[in-house]
Amino acid sequence: MRTLDLVPKVHELSRSDARRIAVRAQLLTAPRPTDPLEVVRQLWAVQADPTAAVAPSAELVMWSRLGSAYRLGELDSALAEGSLVEFQGLIRPAEDIALFRAEMELWRDPSRLDGYEKAQATWVVANDGCRRDIVEKLFDEGPLPSRSLPDTTEVPWRSSGWNNDRNVRMLIELMERRGEVAVAGRDGRDRLWDLAERVFPDESAVPHEEALRIRNERRLRALGIARARATHVPVEANDVGETGEPAVVEGVRGQWRVDPTYLGQSFEGRAAVISPLDRLVYDRKRMVEIFDFDYQLGMYKPAAQRRFGYWAMPILYGDELVGKLDATAERDAGVLRVDTVYEDGTWTKKQRAAVDDEIRELARFLDLELELVAQP
């Protein structure tokens, strides 16, 4: 009797194959999608960083996919009406909160956690009085910024970093992990906090192990190709466990996991200017391995150490990252100032024209006049 071969096939991909899978999964091909909510569902998570050198990152993520089908502020409207929610600094479809509820319960019992997470959960328990005071304040007066919440902590937060002694900030974020509070909106850069029951949909928790499996599947669907294991990063992982199917990428060491639904699909690329925090490039190691892209985000560096400017936006053309846009939105002057368009390698006239069109569309999206300061 013949024995069935149960060893899964390892897909052999070129770097171009891998890049096209990643770009397609991130909805950066042509034609563009048209539904903002479906875009967020496909992307799984959109970072809510408020840095607005050009526009808040989440707005740039939406515009780079939807183009003229998206209007500035639509994301805020969806958050306000509840179809989207912000959780741990990421914007997600409201229904996905069910995939995090079991983990929220874990955070309420330090004995069920390990390492630094156990230490953080234990610190919340040690400051239970302050936690209760915050819940009461929000019940009576929420939504409120963290600076309006009482600091009655008995054990201060100790850190070697800039969060040292920022007791309320750290406590409220850990209360978010516990599912007690949630971001109900923003006032400028300030998050407004309220009781989670007023913000999140009332949906039953998906059991923890099943939720982790589904989250890995959704992450791989959004990334297209990812490592099974990667360096731990807070909040949203870059790896996907054993979901999908195994793959190797020509010229890149180690094995990957690929969502097989993207294999063998046709590819129609386009030009796109994307946020530095876009999920296509957020995993810098994957970015280098697959796209071989030379990039540094300058906003965390002193001005003299910035190679490509404060908020250099990666430029995609087809399945390649081909340059960076150093631009600033000067809203008081009503202009999008373009300091430099860095061209990696030699661009064709067609590439340059497509990227120029995209930069003009960015200015139009922001309702600003385009001002070209210099070109390389």
How far is Cα 307 from Cα 298, in angstroms, rounded to an integer?
Answer: 7
- pLDDT at residue number 6: 62
Question: Mean pLDDT, to the nearest integer, of 350-358?
Answer: 98
CATH number of 271-372: 3.40.630
- Does 96-198 match 271-372 in CATH topology? no
Structural domain spans, the chain: 11-49+71-93+210-262, 96-198, 271-372
Neighbours of 50 (CB within 10 A): 13
- pLDDT at residue number 38: 97
How far is Cα 284 from Cα 286, in angstroms, rounded to an integer?
Answer: 5
The string of pLDDT tens digits covering residues 14-41 is 999 999 999 999 999 999 999 999 999 9
- pLDDT at residue number 4: 54
Please report the DSSP string for 42-81 in residue order.
HHS-EE-----SSS-HHHHHHHHHHGGG--TTHHHHHHHH
Short-list 224, 274, 337, CA closest to 58: 274
Residue 5 predicted with pLDDT over 60: no
- pLDDT at residue number 158: 86
Question: Mean pLDDT, to the nearest integer, of 114-130?
Answer: 96
How far is Cα 216 from Cα 352, in angstroms, rounded to an integer?
Answer: 37
Pick the CATH number of 96-198 from 1.10.3470, 2.60.40, 3.30.310, 1.10.10: 1.10.10
Q: What is the mean pLDDT of the chain?
A: 95
CA 233 and chain centroid, separation: 12
Q: What share of the chain is helix, strand, coil (3-state, %, to 5)?
A: 40, 20, 40
pTM of the model: 0.94
Instruction: Check: CB of residue 150 under 8 Å from CB of residue 133.
Output: yes
Residue 374 predicted with pLDDT over 70: no
User: How sure is the predictor about 376, in pLDDT bands with cuts at 50, 70 and 90?
Assistant: very low
